[in-house]
Amino acid sequence: MKLTGKEKVSYGLGAVGKDMVYMLSASYILYYYQDILGVSAFAMGVILMAARIFDAFNDPIMGVVVAKTRTRWGKFRPWLLIGTVLNAVILYLMFAAPPALQGGGLVAYAAIFYILWGVTYTMMDIPFWSMIPAFTEGGKERENLSALARSCAGVGSALITIITMLCVPALGAIGNSGASQREIERAGFGWFALIIAVVFIVFIVITCLNIKEKSTVDVEAPSVGQMFKALVSNDQAMTVVITIVLINCSLYITSNLLIYFFKYDIGGADWNTNYVLFNTFGGGIQIISMMLFYPLLRKFISAMQVFYVSFVMAIGGYAVLLALMFTNHTNIFLLMVPGFFIFTAFGMLTVLTTVFLANTVDYGELKNHRRDESVIFSMQTFVVKLASGVAAMIASICLTISNISSDTSTAAAEIVADSYTSVAVLRMTMTVLPIIGLLIAVFIFAKKYILTDEKLTQINQELVKERGKS
């Protein structure tokens, strides 16, 4: 039976909710603890990177646990619901650090809750993606749902990009008249995280209620060693995974530092207004690119061609942005021009990398005589989080070198803004490094990825023959 519209919407809502949570953590955890609470940038960089190293062991283990699960409600939905509730609670606590905590205690608090957030996110994210084969018929339906869900996830990320710094000051100001900007933002992040956590739970509950596992997907659960072996033996999956790491790392470097660019480089009393305006524009363009631009381009050119067009747009956008920065053309509307190309490119790349990753499953089955959906998607979870950790570490090094102050006073902002070295380091890090990352990504992809539409058709034909023999 084909998927109903209700099932597609329910699964899409789940993707929106979980990536709202993910983007809030990926883009604002460094800013919250470093700029608002005063934790050193270096300490935060170490914490964020250490959490990703921990994920290297945690994520595959979770994939095995899910595969071995047997319940009356299926193997995926129980973990999806449990992981969501726990992650939502941790998210709130992570952005609601007790005011009494200072120094080492605050660093320990950040470390504990950020690692717990990563663990509980994995607990939910792996079953979310791995359950697709349990309620789809395979082939085009599965591919289309994966693309739809990834697009919806991108919408969730874009929404957080748009609304966070619009909502945080407004929520923090309630009942805090006369408080400093730092105190307002501190309170605002707590309230905002709580709201997002509730929305997250509601969306996933809708997913669990309306998605029924039509099959048990009763496959032999691989060991951790077998999971990594399966990935390594699938050269196409490895290629896409490396590409995803480089693309997301480039994006997250920019997203982590963008708020510092507006606050300490452009500066001014209305920096937050400009930041919100730019993010609203960028987030809106990202949504449009996934929902409109990508399907439109696919009518005329192949997915591979859209992929390369996206890279050209992103690299070109970053180059123009760099030129505008160093010629001091920092008018918000002028910055939107390269922003259009960058956000459009990343929107389409988000959809494309998921589609390409899904394509590697059939390739792996033909090559290794085993379908490894759960392996592939558990690794996707890890590599995306790895990218955010690497990006946050790079951003923290940038902040340390440039001596960006955690003091949010106007005077401090002006001092930093007057330092050409500080500004130059910030500008170079958020533009040049992403360009380098994207160039390496497109080079590796062009050299190694072979799954064209023609190749995929050939693989599917060969799989049909092999399945007919068995």
Query: What distance in Å separates the CA atoms of residue 259 and residue 255, rounded to the nearest whole number?
Result: 8
Please name which of 463, 433, 457, 458 lies closest in space to residue 140, comparing C-alpha atoms. Answer: 457
Q: Please provide residue 122's backbone torsions phi and psi, each rounded to the nearest 5 degrees.
A: -60, -40
pLDDT in tens, 21-40: 999 998 899 899 988 998 88
pLDDT at 405 (0 to 100): 56
Please name which of 387, 377, 394 lies closest in space to residue 52, comparing C-alpha atoms. Answer: 387
Cβ-contact 252, 388 below 8 angstroms: yes
Give the CATH number for residue 292.
1.20.1250.20
The whole domain housing 246 covers 5-213+220-469
pLDDT confidence tier of residue 128, bands split at 50, 70 and 90 = confident
pLDDT in tens, 176-197: 878 888 899 999 999 999 999 9
Cβ-contact 132, 142 below 8 angstroms: yes
pLDDT in tens, 47-92: 988 887 787 677 767 766 776 767 677 778 888 999 999 999 999 9
Task: Count how many domains the chain has.
Answer: 1
Cβ-contact 1, 135 below 8 angstroms: no
Please count the residues of the chain. Answer: 470
Inform me whether the pLDDT recorded for 201 exceeds 60.
yes
Cβ-contact 406, 264 below 8 angstroms: no
pLDDT at 29 (0 to 100): 92
Query: What distance in Å separates the CA atoms of residue 382 and residue 441, rounded to the nearest whole number?
Result: 18
Of 231-245, 268-282, 299-313, 408-422, where does mean pLDDT reach its minimum?
408-422
Max mean pLDDT among 211-220, 357-366, 370-379 falls in 357-366
Rounded to the nearest integer, the mean pLDDT of the chain is 84
Inform me whether the pLDDT recorded for 169 exceeds 70.
yes
Inform me whether the pLDDT recorded for 379 exceeds 50.
yes
Query: What percent of the chain stands above pLDDT 70?
Result: 86
Query: What distance in Å separates the CA atoms of residue 248 and residue 384, rounded to the nearest whole number?
Result: 7
pLDDT at 337 (0 to 100): 94
pLDDT in tens, 427-440: 999 999 999 999 99
